[in-house]
Amino acid sequence: MSKVTEIFGTKVFDDRVMKANLPTDIYRSLKKTIDEGAKLDIDVADAVADAMKDWAIANGATHFTHWFQPLTGITAEKHDAFISPAPDGRVIMEFSGKELIKGEPDASSFPSGGLRATFEARGYTAWDPTSYAFIKDSTLCIPTAFCSYGGEALDKKTPLLRSMEALNKQALRILKLFGNDTVKCVRTSVGPEQEYFLVPKELYEKRKDLVFTGRTLFGAKPPKGQELDDHYFGAIKPRVAEYMKDLNEELWKLGILAKTQHNEVAPSQHELAPIYSTTNIATDHNQLTMEIMQKVAARHGLVCLLHEKPFAGVNGSGKHNNWSISTDTGVNLLTPGETPYENAQFLIFLCAVIKAVDDYQDLLRLSVATAGNDHRLGANEAPPAVVSMFLGDELTAVLDAIENDTPYNGAEKTVMKLGVHVLPRFTRDTTDRNRTSPFAFTGNKFEFRMLGSSNSIACANIMLNAAVAESLKIYADRLEGAEDFESALHAMIKKTIKDHKRIIFNGNGYDDAWIKEATEVRGLLNLKTTPDCMPRLLDKKNVDMLTSHKVFSVAELHSRCDIMLDNYCKSVNIEANTMVDMARKQIMPAIEAYVSDLAKACTRKLAVSDKISIKTEKGLIEKLSALTDKIDEATEALEEAIASYKKITDVTEASYRIRDDILPKMDALRAPCDEAETLTAEKYWPFPTYDKLLFGV
């Protein structure tokens, strides 16, 4: 398939293009900036901008944009043409180093959680040279970070880069202790597996709930769901295969390593996974992937749903964040090594993750919290809201042996001593994989499975990187001062296992008994909803940790907590409004029309003869009329709840009201509507039903 190699990266200003188009000295200093974070001279920036512009124009671009990731969770762009007026009335194409490095979008409408007073509402965007520029449609997109004039981060990329730097700094200290001086940089890598649904566009457009909220707010169970497990990994339908082919090509052109695709558990649900890459690039690429998925779907008469729970009764969509730590010398620090010393190094990084996940369960949980994801976590299809870790039997046995100074390998009867014994290689077990664990070790990486399909992966990785940096910092502080490195190391690993083994659970995470044990015996947190977990961002231990590693400032944390809660409230509020609208303007009139026709049928039948039975019609009229009353009452109750919620000004209090009042009243409205759907003749129902949506492609 030479074609793939030909199209791959054709829309990316990547290393190959830079090398070919930049003078050698300019290329070298840019490379230094990319690899080592060295400061970029304006002369260099000017030369890079010029080459970038020429390349972009040659590839069909007319505009450029600073492409950034505000706290709305999606990406933002404002296009500027390269044109500049020439004295003779014509235009020339220009792009300066200054324009490349810094942009000033008048982005005053993005959420800032009070970080910018409106009179100084402009933020600025700053080029992230570690993520390649690319062409989308006819615009050169320059990946950037987005900050306020005070320097506070207004986006997801800035804290992500800071968290990567924090982890780099602490990991290098640890590696130095192991005598490793050649490593210059430690980076985390991520491979995000992305789930999504495809539905026919013409059906989608007939459903206000899908259009306004991304999920169905009504809908009775179809006769068939996912119970036969016949969709998972099943043969891909031709129309979907065409879509995937087109999607892959678009992604490849953008340098995105789209690799794996398959059908998922629910009907019309699919998954795409790229080959992993450095975390900030993986984040940019995942944002782009979600955008391109939707764009390509439109070309195929489809709509790609990225909502976490588009349909009740079948699985929702998540995103598995496969995460590892590696050095610039190509060593994955989460792989057991060849020598006892390397094994000890592996164990310390493993312990750092165990400690991080236990100490910062709340941060991990809240990093994936959205109104949409609240429908998945703990619903027997995704990991529970309780964070725990799966290590597998073998690794757990090794840790047990270390903790208790007992022999690990029964046959050898030797006591595990770090720095003496070589650990067994933990081969990835493909036969007995635990798919119910929120955080699973899979041989050389961890798979964090709680993310929702529409989440930016930035948030989860910010918290993960920061928490692991904190464990490593504590270890480095202790070990750097130790008299006897090896025994200090051994003692520390033992202590970590003892203190944090409660977070390790290799059993079935979907089991109710586990939730009971986790919360009652082990004291793990069970933060079920967004309002339950989000305020914990401001707990002292979390603020202390995140500010000490300079991942967030105190002001940034407050603003983020507000924005996330506000987003939760607004999303659910839109759903509630949509339900009221659909119930009043579509569902009740539809039932009314059917009932009226049934009544007419009765009259006509009786006109023929009063001996003709009208039992069925009568029964239906009675049932549907009673349901209509229920729907009317429930709609009114929801309307009142919305009106009363709107009076609340404090966002935390508002989020509790959403959780405790609005959401239950939405459920109460849905139930009679779904029941009425099952009793109403198909041609009367005002919008496409689940059977068509789920089996229509």
Interface residues toward ligand ADP, by CB under 6 A: 189-191, 193, 260, 273-276, 322-324, 332, 444-445
Near Mg ion by CB under 5 A, which window of 180-188, 314-322, 405-413, 473-481?
A: 314-322
How far is residue 405's CA from residue 417's CA, in Å, rounded to a whole number?
8
Q: Which is nearer to ligand ADP, 189 or 287 (CB)?
A: 189
Q: Which is nearer to Mg ion, 320 or 500 (CB)?
A: 320
Q: Which is nearer to Mg ion, 320 or 365 (CB)?
A: 320
Binding site partner of 453, from ligand ADP, Mg ion, none, Cβ cut-off 5-8 A by kind: none
Give just the sign of the alpha carbon dihedral 225, 230, 233, 235: negative
Tokens 């390790």 found at: 504
- Three-class SS string for 72-83? CCCCECCCEECE
Binding site partner of 157, from ligand ADP, Mg ion, none, Cβ cut-off 5-8 A by kind: none
Q: Which of 320, 445, 500, 670 binds Mg ion (CB under 5 A)?
A: 320
How are beta strands 133-136 and 139-148 bridged, if at all?
antiparallel
Instruction: Give min distance, CB of 321 to ligand ADP, in A.
Output: 9
Give the residue from 311, 336, 333 showing the smallest Cα distance to 323.
Answer: 333
Q: Which is nearer to ligand ADP, 45 or 266 (CB)?
A: 266
| HSE value, Cβ hemisphere, 13 Å, CA-based, for 13 | 32
Quick check: 551 and 462 in contact, CB under 8 A? yes
How far is residue 599's CA from residue 596's CA, in Å, rounded to a whole number?
5
Q: Which is nearer to Mg ion, 447 or 677 (CB)?
A: 447
Q: Which is nearer to Mg ion, 254 or 451 (CB)?
A: 451
Q: Which is nearer to ligand ADP, 427 or 519 (CB)?
A: 427
- Specify the 3-state DSSP secondary structure of 68: strand
Binding site partner of 218, from Mg ion, ligand ADP, none, Cβ cut-off 5-8 A by kind: none
How are beta strands 12-13 and 80-81 bridged, if at all?
unpaired
Q: Which is nearer to ligand ADP, 273 or 366 (CB)?
A: 273
Instruction: Give min distance, CB of 98 to ligand ADP, in A.
Output: 37
Q: Which is nearer to ligand ADP, 442 or 496 (CB)?
A: 442
Quick check: 289 and 274 in contact, CB under 8 A? yes
Binding site partner of 332, from ligand ADP, Mg ion, none, Cβ cut-off 5-8 A by kind: ligand ADP
Calculated CA dihedral for residues 474, 476, 480, 483, nearest 10 degrees: 70
How far is residue 492's CA from residue 333's CA, in Å, rounded to a whole number?
18
Question: How many CB atoms are closer than 10 A to CB 606?
Answer: 12
Site string for Mg ion, 27-66 (x = CB under 5 A): ----------------------------------------
Binding site partner of 260, from Mg ion, ligand ADP, none, Cβ cut-off 5-8 A by kind: ligand ADP
Instruction: Give min distance, CB of 190 to ligand ADP, in A.
Output: 6
Instruction: Give min distance, CB of 626 to Mg ion, in A.
Output: 47
Residues 6+ apart with CB under 8 A from 37: none
Tokens 């944002």 found at: 287
157 binds Mg ion (CB under 5 A): no
Binding site partner of 275, from Mg ion, ligand ADP, none, Cβ cut-off 5-8 A by kind: ligand ADP
Near Mg ion by CB under 5 A, which window of 90-98, 136-144, 316-324, 634-642?
A: 316-324
Instruction: Give min distance, CB of 390 to ligand ADP, in A.
Output: 12
Which class for 328: exposed (0-12), middle (13-18), buried (19 or more C-beta within 10 A)?
middle
Quick check: 80 and 63 in contact, CB under 8 A? yes
- Could you list the residues that contact Mg ion (CB under 5 A)? 320
